[in-house]
Amino acid sequence: MSAAWRKQAPLLAAALCLLLAARSGAAEAATAERTQLIHAAVEWLVKNQNADGGWGGRQTASLDWAAYTRGSLDAFEVASAALCVSALAASPEQTDASREAASRGIDFLLENHDIKRPNGFEHFGCWAHAYVLECLAEHLAAAPDDPRAERMRAVSARMVERLETFQALDGGWGYLSLEPPRTFRPSFTSMSFTTATCLVALARARDAGIAVPEAMVEKALRSVERCATPAGSFTYGEYWRRAPAQGINQPKGSACRTPACLLALDLWERPVAKDALRRALERLLEDDARLQIVALRRPVPHESHYSISGYFYLYGHAYAARLFERLPQSDRQRFAPLLERALLPCREPDGSFWDYPFFHFHKPYGTAYALLALSRISNA
């Protein structure tokens, strides 16, 4: 070693120590901020649970669209409750109050799970059936000795049955029949991300030992695959395959829906490249992040650029967080702070999160999505 190098070595070592300390301090600060976000979200869910064990309410504003009938509001109430229970159960912060709230939420789901289709136009029940199934399956896997386990398995089987009953003729699931004929088994197009949501729930049910019809799953997987485009996006639904270049079907318009579709295919062992998962996160959290934020809290569906709707946002980031466990550690470290930062525009001073005004369910399901995302990136 030269004399000049020996003279500089202590200075370089000191600089390296300072750099490492700064990085460590930044990491500790980021962890503390995430912990605070999780704590506040858990507190909000516990504090705002209804007396019957559910969350949210049916008060409406003039800009609320569709879902004016009893069955549709039931669907959103039950789906929101299932998400809140799942979020409380997944949180790294567990308290007596949060565990009690989650348990009361399960009781609510067991009593109110059987959502009816109110009319030919609206069939939002698929969201409730999927999220109740996923919630109960996860609880059964975590607490198989719960005294309610037998009933939970019966309700889970009923949710699978309901999903099969309302599976669209094209193989997927949708929530509106926009065009006639409006048939009992929906004949109008399914939506790719709704189908993906149901497939993720069915995969969780399968892993918990709940019987899932192979034919139903295969038809749904083919539907999602048909919605995939060469650009790496997914069309909004099968109907929109006729216009793949339309804004909503391009990667920018699909950014919040793509993670759920990729996750569903991967969980059911369809070929999905790691590069596709990584690219989906890059588009959502880096390349097209500002376009997604611009659509936040706009009350008219799809009024923003590329027909992006605010209700894509927290949903998309919650499913993006699920991709973390399927990627190398280096990718997790890269994307975690970006995902956490992406959630902040949705946060309220009271600790809740929301992205789109919808009756009084937007804060419960928005907070649940955000808490699920924060918990998963914390555990990744």
Q: In a 3-state reduction of DSSP, which class is residue 10?
A: helix
The set of residues, in sequence order, having a beta carbon less than 8 Å from that of 53 and lying 6+ positions away, is 81, 104, 105, 107, 108
Residue 226: give the domain boundaries. 46-379
Q: For residues 351 and 45, what is the distance between their CA atoms, to the nearest angstrom?
A: 9
In a domain, 28, yes or no: no
Compute CA 319 distance to the chain's CA centroid, rounded to the nearest angstrom: 4
What are the CB-based long-range contacts (under 8 Å, 24+) for 325-333?
325/376, 325/380, 326/263, 326/266, 326/274, 326/277, 327/274, 327/277, 327/278, 327/281, 328/274, 331/278, 331/281, 332/377, 332/380
Residue with tokens 């062992």: 269
In a domain, 333, yes or no: yes
Written as tens digits, the pLDDT of the chain (380 aa) is 455 534 444 544 544 444 344 444 545 566 789 999 999 999 999 999 999 999 998 766 555 566 666 778 899 999 999 999 999 999 999 999 999 999 999 999 999 999 988 888 888 999 999 999 999 999 999 999 999 999 999 999 999 999 999 999 999 999 988 888 888 888 888 999 999 999 999 999 999 999 999 999 999 999 999 999 999 999 999 988 888 889 999 999 999 999 999 999 999 999 999 999 999 999 999 999 999 999 999 988 899 999 999 999 999 999 999 999 899 999 999 999 999 999 999 999 999 999 999 888 999 999 999 999 999 999 76
Residue pair 212/234 in contact (Cβ under 8 Å)? The answer is no
Q: For residues 82 and 65, what is the distance between their CA atoms, to the nearest angstrom?
A: 22
Task: List the structure tokens of 342.
Answer: 């992406």
Q: For residues 311 and 297, what is the distance between their CA atoms, to the nearest angstrom?
A: 8
Find the helix packing angle between 192-207 and 258-267, rounded to 10°. Answer: 40
In a domain, 30, yes or no: no
Q: For residues 220 and 206, what is the distance between their CA atoms, to the nearest angstrom?
A: 15
Residue 286 sits in a domain whose CATH number is 1.50.10.20
Query: Residue 53 has what pLDDT?
Result: 98
The set of residues, in sequence order, having a beta carbon less than 8 Å from that of 169 and lying 6+ positions away, is 185, 186, 187
In a domain, 131, yes or no: yes
Query: Residue 140 has what pLDDT?
Result: 98
In a domain, 50, yes or no: yes
- Structural domains of the chain, count: 1
Which residue, 91, 46, 29, 30, is CA-closest to 352?
Answer: 46
Task: List the structure tokens of 173.
Answer: 């699931």
Q: For residues 123 and 65, what is the distance between their CA atoms, to the nearest angstrom?
A: 14
Q: What is this structure's pTM? A: 0.91
Task: List the structure tokens of 121.
Answer: 């136009």
In a domain, 25, yes or no: no
Task: List the structure tokens of 237.
Answer: 């639904």
Return phi, psi of residue 83, to 5°.
-65, -40
In a domain, 156, yes or no: yes
Q: For residues 143 and 3, what is the distance between their CA atoms, to the nearest angstrom?
A: 66
In a domain, 216, yes or no: yes
